[in-house]
Amino acid sequence: MALLDILEYPDPRLRNRAEPITVFDAVLVKRVKDMFETMYAAPGIGLAATQVNVHQRLLVMDVSQDRSAPMVFINPEILERREVGVMEEGCLSVPGYFDDVERAQYVKVRAQDQHGITFERELSGLEAVCLQHEMDHLDGKLFVDYLSLLKRDRVRRKLEKERKDRASRGVSPATTADKAAVGVER
């Protein structure tokens, strides 16, 4: 098991487009485990491979309060989206910032599991919103891209300043325990 470093906005690697996964092997199973460990430790309710600098179409989620409902989606495709609504979002790659985003509140998704088995699943509410947020990461998109340029610039400047202050104090990214507690009670 291993905790992976999470890239933070405006890191240009968050803009990479992830490639489809074609090999379902032990390396992939280990990567899924490490991503769950990283997501639970953060804590977050979802994590896309892009955020840990792996540019493959893989994401993990668990929106349950007791962290008992892990879900893995590989090469996900949305088949149906319905019921547009607004929900407040946060992102481990944009720590400490939350804002409203409009998205479908119901989606039907087709994906593969870590063994390559294709499945379909219907998600609603926070699960549906989180899945779309994670799939955006795989296409190099962040929730702040839906906000005004003014807001996005404000967030970017704040995070750049925090990064600089951290560097000047000699703190490594792995030891900053001030990640956003997004969507998780603690």
Nearer residue to ligand GNR within complex by CB, 98 or 116: 98
First to last CA, the chain: 23
Residue number, 75 or 95, with CB nearest to Ni ion: 95
Rounded CA-CA distance 54/56 in Å is: 6
Q: Choose from Ni ion, ligand GNR, none: what does 109 bind? Cβ within 5-8 Å by kind.
A: none
Residue 38 vs 112, nearer CB to ligand GNR: 38
Confirm if 58 and 21 have CB atoms less than 8 A apart.
Answer: yes
**Shortest Å distance, C-beta 34 to Ni ion:** 17
Q: Which residue has the tokens 């407040």?
A: 88
The binding site for ligand GNR (CB under 6 A) comprises: 44-48, 51, 89-93, 129-130, 133-134, 137, 182-183
Centre a 10 Å sphere on the Cβ of residue 99 and count the other Cβ atoms it contains.
16
Least Cβ distance, residue 170 to ligand GNR (angstroms): 27
Distance between CA atoms of 46 and 172, rounded to whole angstroms? 23
CB of 143 to Ni ion, least distance (A): 7
Beta bridge pairs of residue 118: 112
Q: Which does 62 bind (CB under 5 to 8 A by kind): Ni ion, ligand GNR, none?
A: none
| Residue with smaller CB distance to Ni ion, 28 or 97 | 97
- Do 104 and 83 meet the contact criterion of CB atoms below 8 Å apart? yes
- Contact criterion met (CB below 8 Å) for 7 and 51: yes
Phi, psi of 40, rounded to the nearest 5 degrees: -65, -35
The active-site residue, picked from 8, 134, 160, 162, is 134
Least gap, CB of 91 to ligand GNR (angstroms)? 4
Active site residue 160: no
Site string for Ni ion, 86-105 (x = CB under 5 A): -----x--------------
Contact status, residue 102 vs residue 85, Cβ threshold 8 Å: yes
Q: Would you tell me which residues interact with Ni ion (CB under 5 A)?
A: 91
Known catalytic residues?
A: 134
